[in-house]
Amino acid sequence: MLNVIKISLPERCRILCISDIHTHWREMEKLLKRCNYNTGEDYLFILGDILERGEDNIGALRYVMELAKEEHVFVIGGNNDMFVHDFAVRYSDEKFHERFTKKPNRCFVQMGEAIGITDYADSTAQKRRAVYEAFRSEIDFVKGLPDAIETDSHIFVHAGIEGQDWHAMTAARVQNIKRFPNLGHESEKTVVCGHVPCYGMGRQNSNLPILDGGRRIIAIDGGAGVRQASQINTVIINKCGSEYGYETEFCPIGESKTVLADHAGRKGWIFADYSRHLFTQIPFEPDNNLRGFIKVQNKESGERGVVPECFSGYWDGNWHAWGNLNAFPSVKKGEPIWTYAEYGDYCWCITADGEVGSVPKSIISE
């Protein structure tokens, strides 16, 4: 059975939901300030994956632990969070070495480095124990995280739920369901989840939260540490009696630049599900010959479009793209913009309204 925290909410309140910060706690801190988070009145639900995929695991964990001291802050565990306990305590030395060789846990590695341990080839048990003793409160905090939060109207989990009796699920399953926003569920309550970046799940050209009222699903993972252009999202649930309203806010990863001139992008971006859509490469027409792009055709739908070559790959006899096709957002002079990869005359960006795509480098400040 899952460890579920059941909460009775007051007649009026705000619930701020955040997930999958993946060590990017400074962006989370900015986001809470942007939302005018009030520690005395608001509820804050953090839906797992505090750790991994980024650099400052210890800082992120301690930041969340400090937040969790407040009465109205609740944190649940994500699949990436649990590994630090496994590496420190649960794995046998044999399995520790197997996993450490294939995929070291960054949080555990950083904890070891903080006390001068970098090599586990010998005295493995003693060194693992030393890491645990030095970071006992942090590791025990992670191990003790519940699996879900439930209110009268909402279920908050890391990845998703399944079956009529979702309480009977295992913790591993509720933290690891794949593509839940596309699957649906049988509960009458609205499920709020993270785990899978919204850019790949929703038919949208952004990392913004997915609010699917028809299927009672809210997905909030902004892709931090997973997508190259990524962000931390929050969905704010405004409770007024039995009525609920929803707002969204986001904070991109990285420092912003400024748009120097108005730029009209192209309409008609095409959704590309990187895990499912297969493409063939086709030649450019002369007037569309953009450096750094390739042109592809969806094998199933026949749709054609361009995608940055650095967001595509060829294997198994097919082209795969992990960016939407023909994604050229419009921007206005003076707006903030967050830039990532560069290719030809363009760069991959998140715009002020959250759209993702290619914008000319020439109209963006250094």
Same domain, 149 and 17: yes
Q: Encode pLDDT of 1-20 as tens digits.
A: 899 999 999 999 999 999 99
Q: Please state, as a whole number, how many other Cβ atoms lie within 10 Å of the Cβ of residue 171.
A: 19
pLDDT mean across residues, the chain: 96
Region of 225 (left: φ > 0; alpha: ψ -120 to 50; beta: rest) is left
H-helix or E-strand spanning residue 213: none
b/e sequence 46-82, b meaning 16+ C-beta within 10 Å: bbbbbbbbbebbbebbbbbeebeeeebbbbbbbbbbb
In terms of Cα–Cα distance, which of 290, 283, 277 is closest to 321? 277
Distance CA 335, CA 144 (A): 43
In terms of Cα–Cα distance, which of 25, 27, 22 is closest to 254? 27
Same domain, 225 and 318: no
- 54: tokens are 């980024």
What pLDDT was estimated at residue 287?
A: 64
Same domain, 38 and 104: no
Same domain, 197 and 344: no
Going by C-beta distance under 8 Å and a sequence separation of 6 or more, which residues neighbour residue 59? 23, 25
CATH number (domain holding residue 51): 3.60.21.10
Using pLDDT thresholds of 50, 70 and 90, give the confidence band for residue 202.
confident
* Residue where one domain finishes, among candidates 191, 223, 252: 252
The alpha helices in the chain, defined as continuous H runs, are 25-34, 57-67, 83-85, 93-102, 106-114, 124-134, 136-143, 171-174, 198-201
Same domain, 176 and 240: yes
In terms of Cα–Cα distance, which of 356, 334, 362, 360 is closest to 347? 360
Same domain, 90 and 230: no
* Residue where one domain finishes, among candidates 122, 142, 162: 142
Residue pair 44/70 in contact by the 8 Å Cβ criterion: yes
Q: Encode pLDDT of 257-302 as tens digits.
A: 999 999 999 889 999 988 889 999 998 876 667 899 999 999 999 9
Same domain, 173 and 272: no
Number of structural domains the chain divides into: 3
* Residue where one domain finishes, among candidates 252, 287, 307: 252
Using pLDDT thresholds of 50, 70 and 90, give the confidence band for residue 203.
confident
* Residue-range definition of the domain harbouring residue 278: 257-363
Same domain, 179 and 328: no
Same domain, 269 and 358: yes
Q: Encode pLDDT of 208-260 as tens digits.
A: 999 999 999 999 999 999 998 999 999 999 999 999 999 999 999 999 999 99
Going by C-beta distance under 8 Å and a sequence separation of 6 or more, which residues neighbour residue 183? 160, 162, 177
Same domain, 273 and 154: no
Same domain, 313 and 184: no
Same domain, 197 and 122: no
Return the amino acid letter for 278.
L
